Each structure stands twice: as structure tokens, then as C-alpha cells.
Structure 1
Amino acid sequence: MPRPLTEFARYLRTETTGGIILLAATAVALIWANSPLRDSYHALRDFRLGPEFLHLNLTLGDWAKDGLLALFFFVAGLELKRELVIGELSRFKQAVLPVVAAIGGMVVPAVVALAVGWGTPGIDRAWAIPVATDIAFALGVLALTASNLPSSARVFLLSLAVVDDLGAIIVIAVLFTTGFDLVAVGVAVAALALYAFLQHRRVRTPWLYVPLALITWVAVHSAGVHATIAGVALGLLTRVRADEGEGEAPALRLEHRLQPWSAAVAVPVFALFAAGISVTGDSLGAVFTTALPLAVLAGLLGGKVVGIFGASLLAVKLKVADKPRGMGWRDLGALSLLGGVGFTVSLLIADLALPAETSELAKAAVLIASGLASLLAAVLLLRRSKVHAEAD
């Protein structure tokens, strides 16, 4: 079985391409939604497809948000499970720092957002928007700008982003569950239990797993829980250790097959429908003069850096964790700034948390903050990469 570090490198190479495609999809959405063809964009995004049965008559935008992102979270769940069992997060000292950093990178941005937007309508849900770090975008920027940084920097950021996304998934599950259908919950639990049993019995045929995954997704969606939860649950139940004589474990095999579809199709299509906001002088001005989008900006640009770096510094100084091998504090500071790239999951939470008019401003804040964070981090990472190259 390939070594975990090799798999990190493979994952990063895929995400570099995925990050570029994601950026292109975002640019297309913004141009299209602000062009004379804007009506066709809204008509496509709001076109309904699917049966009324089980509440599946959804818009294409909702299919991207509820359906395609479930694939993204399934891959994230596979990655997290593999890291917890056989990867970097399986060893306590290595696992502590990115976990502590991820917690700091969720708590501090939420507190900053609440402080800046206190008393503003919608902030009781919008505080969750800046808690996320986008895996594809952040790793894409890192791979393009920091080729000379030690591999531990990449391991740290990937581990942090995966744990961060798990936290965002929990936030989505707790805050944005609408209603609760106990029958559908029972079906989802039974389907997940059967999936786990089949994994335990080493059954490999997709003719069982694909229908079972679809049943789980439909049941979770019908239960009133956001359907992406089905993806991460299935990922976490997938076996990550290869048996004797088995070329690779199911989790690794599924990552190889599904990661390109997640990075090149699922996430960019979601971004195409989520990032198409109206950009005018008035709307841009409102982002910087209205409390709620300012809270999102402050959470992502300020709260993320303080939370990730501060929690990491505290953990190392208290000797709870070790600093990543070969990395200095300036390297960690640049990575902390890269954590402010919220993008995919932040856009998802903005869609779920707020009504359409307010969510447009919040999503504009996410795009601006993510763009600034990626540019500033890229500058710092290029400088740090040059320092490491000269040291070698």
C-alpha cells in the first residue's frame, strides 16, 4: 500500500488542477451573472428538475449544493478516515497541532464575526460562514507558490483543512437541519449500518454500494438534514486498511476514482451556481459598509489568522504539540493566512444561513476575503519558499 506521504503528494497534485478549475468556474459565474445574459444564468440556476416524491423537485442550484457537494464531502470523509487510522492524524503528537489549529481557526473567526456583527439581523446564523477553510483552493495556492517548503507544511495544511471541514459539517448538521422526519432518519441509519456491515464483510461490488449510497443520500435529504452529511458519513464508514493480498484498501481506491470528479466537476459546478452574485458599485460598497458582510470579512481575514496561528503557538509553547518538522513560525503564519480562504463551504453556509438578498452580500464578502487571503498568502509563501531554497 502506498505510504501516506505519497498520497498527500498525489492529493495535492490533483487539488492544484482542481483549484484552477474552481477559480475558472467562479470567474465564469461572476461574468455571466453580470453580463447582458444574466437572465439566462438565473433561469438555468433556478430550473427545477426531479420528482416531487421525497422532496426531490429541486433547482439545478440546489442539486449542485445538495447532490454534487455530497461527493466532495464523501471524498473529504475518506481522506479524514484514512488520516485518522493510518496517516498523519493517527500519531498523537503529529495529530494534535493541526487539530488544535483547526479548532482555533473555527472558534476565533466565529467570535470575531459575532463581535463585529452583534445586533445585526441574521448574525445569529451568519457567524458560521467564516469557520470553513476551502481544501481545493487553499492547497492549490500552496502547491503553486510553495514548492520549496518542507513537505510537513503541506501535511499540516491538509490535515487542518480536513478537520476544519469536519467542523463545518457538524455546524451544518446542527444549525441548518429543517424539520426532522424520523422514518427517513431510520432508513438512513439502516442504510449506513448495512454499508458498514458490507465493508466489514469485505464485499466489493459497486452494484450494492452505489444503490445503497443513493438510498442514504435520499433518506438524509428527506429527513431534513443537509444531504452532504450523507457523504461524510459514508466516507467515515469506508475501510482504509488493505487486507493481505489486496492491492489497495477501498478508501484509497475510491479516492483515486472519485477525487478527479470531485475536484473537476462537483466543486466547480457548485461554484458556478453559488458564485454568480450581482457586482455593482452599490453592492461592493455595501460589503464594506454593512455590518453582516463586514463580520464575514473580519472573520475570514482576521479571525482565521489569529485563531490558527494563536492556537498553534499556544499548543507548542505548552508542549502539547510539536511544531511541524522543518517549519518556522513565519511559515506557519503564511499557512494561517491561507486558512482564510473559505470559499466552497463558506458559500454553502451563506446559502443555507441567510435569505437570498442578504446571502448575496455575505457571498460577496466570502469571495473578496478568499481572494485577498489567497493573494496575500501567495506573496508570503513565495518569499518563504525562496528562503528555504536559499537555505538548501
Structure 2
Amino acid sequence: MTRRLFPRLSQVENRTVAEVLRAESVGGGLLMLAAVVAMGWANWPWGQSYESVVGWVPWPGGRFLGLDISVGRWASDGLLAIFFFVVGLELKREFVAGDLREPQRAAVPVVAAVGGMIVPAVVYVAFNLNTGGEALRGWAIPMATDIAFALAVLAVIGSHLPTGLRAFLLTLAVVDDLLAIAVIAVFYAGNVDFALLLSALAPIAVFGLLVQIRRTWWWALLPLALAAWLLVHASGVHATIAGVLLALTVPVLKRDTLPGLADRFEHVWRPISAAVAVPLFALFAAGVPLRGGQLVDAMTDPVALGVIAGLVMGKLVGVFGSTFAMAKLTRATLDENLSWWDVLGLALLTGIGFTVSLLIGDLAFGAGTERGEHVTLAVLVASLLAACTASVVLRLRNAAYRRAET
């Protein structure tokens, strides 16, 4: 049976996609603004104040829980837990009630996401096979797509693009995030204390029990979430994983007269994630001083070059190539209203890797280190290149759809 790639969406799916697009587009704009502010702050005459703020430890007495960490670490370990909680809700919804619940519909975005992660990693490794040192620790940096940034660009230039393309980007990004979470948990954990990690299951289980019986007592749920975060953080596994585990306990579907809570929680927490958590993370992660030939040094570092090539070229080849192969090797065909140029523009857009790429860069090389700063610059340059090239292709396609509509 022949099936269509990127088919038209139902009215309900259209509303869901539109709501997510609005929230993520605003968040993407704030994310870009925060990155610009961070770069400006780090490079003005008093840029030393930026490094002082990022490195400040607000709770030096929290050593026994591993909480004697800097503001920069609080942003990546604490605020991004909110971001990953929202990602977890998206994952749960997609697997239970979205595209990923149907294997046939899920196959294309899943294969595209996997291809869009494997090829960039291979490109990075190819650039750094002979670099030596710990260069290969950064193999996962170019794997992730920043959904907020990508959707912000798509919202600005893609007013007339088919909703099927937007839904495909959302689904691909959800799978991308799931795989990135797995990579962080497996490959970038420190010395794991399994007793503490198993202890985190207790507050997560109680949280899950309360939401399953639809008890939305914030005075109980928030302390339980905080306890889970503290235990996961102290165990050596990156604390953002706690956000995902908590989200996966939240019910999606209604049961008898009891409502599903995933949409309700997402409605509450997505604006906080998009407008507060992720922009603040960008503010404290994207500020890299460019004094003393720092940019030249970064652009000659094989690690930085591997990140740029992985995001710009690896994502393009991985996403477009996987989608094209699915069309040629299976009974899937491109929707008659779409062009492969649309898919090309979308594949270029997935090269915008900001939030999770910066996070993995910090985990791989350490925040504030010379190589860590090179990675930050590389992610910024690659994301800008991907956004610009995708904008050219998608703007032309958007104009064609606008002419056809009028």
C-alpha cells in the first residue's frame, strides 16, 4: 500500500502543531536574543564581569549534595531540567497519541532523526581521528537539533509552507531529543552512584502515582520533583534526566472521567521553558570572549571544524539522505503538493544545534575551558550557517506556495 510522506494533517493535529509552533517560535526568538546579549556582554570592555557572574557559586555550603556549583552549572543542570521535562511530555504524547504511536507514520521521522544523528557523529570523528587527546569525547556535539531555534526560523520564513513539513520537523526533533537524552545518560555520566540513582526512583514513583490518580497538588508534586532532581544530580548522572523520567509518568489520555494531564502540564511549563529556562541557559553558556585571536584559534581547531561540518553538512546528508532512501526503498512517496526542495530546506534547518549541542560540549570538555569555548563558537557559527542556508531555500519555496495559493 502506497503512503504519503508529510501528508496533510487533521484539524486536531493542525491545532496542536500551531500551538507548539507559537510557543517555540517565541522561545526561539528569546533564545537568539539571549545569545546575542551573552556575546556582547562577554566582549565589551568590562567583559570580565560576565565570567565572574557565570563562575559565581551562590551556595558554597551545598557541597554534601554536590550543589556547590556555579551559576553556569545551575543554568545547565537546573534550568534545563525544565526544558527536558517539557521534552519528556512531548515524547510521551507522541508515543501515546501522536505520530509515533503508528509504526508506519513514525518510520520516516524516526529514520530521518537516526540518520541525522549518525552522519554528523561520523563526520566529527573523521575530522578528529588524528587530533589526539580527548577530542573524540565531543563526537555527540553535532547530533542534536535545537527545536526552538529551528522553529523560530521556520515561523519567520515559512508562513505558507505545508503544515505536514512543520509536523515532520516537530516529530523528528522529538526523536532527536530522545536519542540525545540517551546519549547524555549513557556516555556523559560521571562516576555513577547507583544507590543514589535508585533512590531517585522513590520520589519519581510517588510523583507518578499522584499524577496517575490525577492529583495535581503542586505543594506535593514540586517537592517530589526537586527531591528526584537532587538525587539524580548527586548520583553523577546529568540532572536533566530527572525531568524526562518525571514527565514519562504523566498520563496523556483521559480515563473514565479523569482528564489526561500531559497537555495541561505542557501548557503550564512550556512557556516557562521557552521564555525563561532555555534563554537563561543561553545567556550563561554562549558568551565567549573573542579577544586575542580566539576566533582564529577556534576556526583552526579540528574539534570546532568537526562540529561545524557535522551540523551543517552531516545533518543535511543524514536527514535528507535517510528520507530520500525511505521514499526509494519503501512504498512511501512524497506528497503530491510537496517538492524535494522542501525536504532539502528542512534538512538544512536541522543543522541548527544550539541548546543540547552546547550542553554536550560542556559535558565533553568542561565549561570555560579553551576547547569548550571553541566548541561554543563552532556551534554558534554552524547554527548561523544552517539558518542562513535553510532560509534561502525555504524562502524560495514559501514564495512558490504563496503564489500558488493566490
Do they fold alike, i.e. is TM over 0.5? yes
> Partner letter of residue 203 of structure 2?
A
CA contact (8 A) 2:128 2:136 kept: no
Question: 1:22-78 deviations in whole A, cap 9, x for unaligned?
Answer: 111000000000111211111111110232231111111000000000000100110
CA contact (8 A) 1:153 1:324 kept: no
1:189 is displaced (CA, Å) by 1.7
Q: Hey, what does 1:353 align to over in structure 2?
A: 364
> Partner letter of residue 386 of structure 1?
A
Matched, 1:376 2:385: no
Give 1:251's match in structure 2, choosing from 262, 270, 283. Answer: 262
Give unpaired runs (5+ residues) of structure 2: 1-10
Give 1:19's match in structure 2, choosing from 13, 28, 32. Answer: 28
> Partner letter of residue 381 of structure 2?
I
Secondary structure at 1:49 match in 2: coil
Cα–Cα, structure 1 residues 320 and 84, in superposed 2: closer, same or farther, change >3 Å?
farther
Q: Hey, what does 1:310 align to over in structure 2?
A: 321
Q: Hey, what does 1:295 align to over in structure 2?
A: 306
Q: Hey, what does 2:50 align to over in structure 1?
A: 41
Q: Hey, what does 2:398 align to over in structure 1?
A: 385
Secondary structure at 1:138 match in 2: helix
1:320 is displaced (CA, Å) by 6.2
CA contact (8 A) 1:4 1:86 kept: no
Matched, 1:234 2:243: no
CA distance in 2, matches of 1:320, 1:193: 43
Give 2:127's match in structure 1, choosing from 110, 116, 127. Answer: 116
> Partner letter of residue 127 of structure 1?
W
1:321 is displaced (CA, Å) by 4.6
Deviation beyond 4 Å, 4+ runs, structure 1? none
Secondary structure at 2:161 match in 1: coil
Q: Hey, what does 1:179 align to over in structure 2?
A: 191
1:245 is displaced (CA, Å) by 4.0
> Partner letter of residue 386 of structure 2?
A
CA contact (8 A) 1:97 1:322 kept: no
> Partner letter of residue 30 of structure 2?
I
Cα–Cα, structure 1 residues 59 and 324, in superposed 2: closer, same or farther, change >3 Å?
farther
Q: Hey, what does 1:215 align to over in structure 2?
A: 227
CA distance in 1, matches of 2:86, 2:16: 13
284-293 vs 316-325, which moves further: 316-325
User: Percent identity between the aligned chains?
Assistant: 48
> Partner letter of residue 100 of structure 1?
V
Give 2:207's match in structure 1, choosing from 171, 182, 195. Answer: 195
CA distance in 1, matches of 2:222, 2:332: 40
CA distance in 2, matches of 1:26, 1:11: 22
CA contact (8 A) 1:74 1:235 kept: yes
CA contact (8 A) 1:77 1:236 kept: yes
Q: Hey, what does 1:129 align to over in structure 2?
A: 141
Cα–Cα, structure 1 residues 333 and 97, in superposed 2: closer, same or farther, change >3 Å?
same
Q: Hey, what does 1:9 align to over in structure 2?
A: 18
Give 1:141's match in structure 2, choosing from 153, 156, 169. Answer: 153
CA contact (8 A) 2:28 2:148 kept: yes
Cα–Cα, structure 1 residues 276 and 9, in superposed 2: closer, same or farther, change >3 Å?
same
Question: 1:91-119 deviations in whole A, cap 9, x for unaligned?
Answer: 22221111110000000000000001112
TM-score when normalising by structure 2:
0.93
CA contact (8 A) 1:152 1:325 kept: no
Q: Hey, what does 2:172 align to over in structure 1?
A: 160
1:195 is displaced (CA, Å) by 2.4
CA contact (8 A) 2:146 2:356 kept: yes
CA distance in 2, matches of 1:166, 1:323: 26
Q: Hey, what does 1:338 align to over in structure 2?
A: 349
Q: Hey, what does 2:275 align to over in structure 1?
A: 264
CA distance in 2, matches of 1:313, 1:134: 23
Aligned length: 390
Secondary structure at 2:200 match in 1: helix
1:314 is displaced (CA, Å) by 0.8
Q: Hey, what does 1:367 align to over in structure 2?
A: 380
> Partner letter of residue 378 of structure 2?
A
CA distance in 1, matches of 2:88, 2:81: 10
